[in-house]
Amino acid sequence: MLTLAEARERALSRIRSQSANLLAGGELELLDDDTLERDWGWVFFFARRLRTESGHPGYEPWSEGPLIVNRFDGSVHGTGGEHPGEYYVTRYDTEFRRDREGWLLVLRDLDARSSSALQALREVLDLVPREADDLVRRLPAVVMEGPRPEIVRARQELLAAGVRAEVKRA
């Protein structure tokens, strides 16, 4: 899990790579006072620093919108400039919650004679042999609930061993 300092550095790194494409005199600066913190991470806003005729720096908003950094996986997401920043924050928040909550792993059937399927079932679901045998007798069954990425990962492991499994919304 990232700290604010690590997330800030990731956002700055992304901006530095994009700053090379800006016209001369248009350096991007992080607006630290505008940074938003959410339970999933941070939103970093930038502005282009321009030299004014008076010699003092002036600023204009960065047309590409804020950057979102996920504290859990460290990913950096560009947003876009077609809408106000809050639009992208709300959209990311909705997608994050959708992916983090309310997903089920459902097993339909399993060949109880397949040792690789039973072994995968025990490993993925952390079951002792007796629990796995009991589960096979109760199929179809919901065997896991949680964040979508974890459920999808578990399903892929089970599918590789020949276990039929589905991912569904709770």
Domain that holds residue 110: 103-169
Cβ contact 69:41 at 8 Å: yes
Question: How many angstroms separate the CA atoms of 123 and 130, rounded?
Answer: 13
Q: Domain check: are 63 and 116 in the same one?
A: no
91 and 116 housed in the same domain: no
Residue 162 and residue 137 share a domain? yes
Residues 126 and 157 in one domain: yes
**pLDDT value of residue 98:** 74
3-state secondary structure of 22: coil
C-alpha span between 133 and 115 (Å, rounded): 11
Q: What is the pLDDT of residue 102?
A: 79
Q: Do 145 and 65 fall within a single domain?
A: no
100, 132, 153 - which closes a domain: 100
Per-residue pLDDT 10s for the chain (170 aa) are 899 999 999 999 988 776 555 555 557 778 888 899 998 999 998 877 665 555 555 655 566 778 999 998 899 998 877 888 888 899 998 888 877 777 899 998 888 788 888 899 899 989 998 988 888 888 899 988 888 888 999 999 999 988 889 999 87
- What pLDDT shows up at residue 58? 60
Question: Which residues have a Cβ under 8 Å from the Cβ of 163 and sit 6 or more positions away?
Answer: 107, 110, 117, 120, 121
Number of domains in the chain: 2
Burial 26-55, CB ≥16 within 10 A → b, else e: eebbbeeeebeeeebbbbbbbbbeeeeeee
